[in-house]
Amino acid sequence: VRGDGREAGRLMLDNAREHRCEDPEAFCEGMRGLVDEAIGSKLRLESISAGDVLRKAFTLACTHRVKIESNFASICIAIMVLEGVGRRLDPTLDILSAAIPVLATRTLRYKAGLA
User: What pLDDT digit, counting tens, does each position of 42-52 carry?
Assistant: 455 566 788 88
Q: What are phi and psi of 85, to 5 degrees?
A: -65, -45
Look at the pTM and tell me if it is higher than 0.85.
Answer: no
What gap in Å lies between CA 75 and CA 81, rounded to an integer?
10
Q: What is the DSSP letter of 66?
A: B
Average pLDDT score over the chain: 86
Average pLDDT on 1-13 reads: 87
What gap in Å lies between CA 109 and CA 24, rounded to an integer?
29
pLDDT tens for residues 39-93? 765 455 566 788 888 999 999 999 999 999 888 899 999 989 988 898 899 888 7
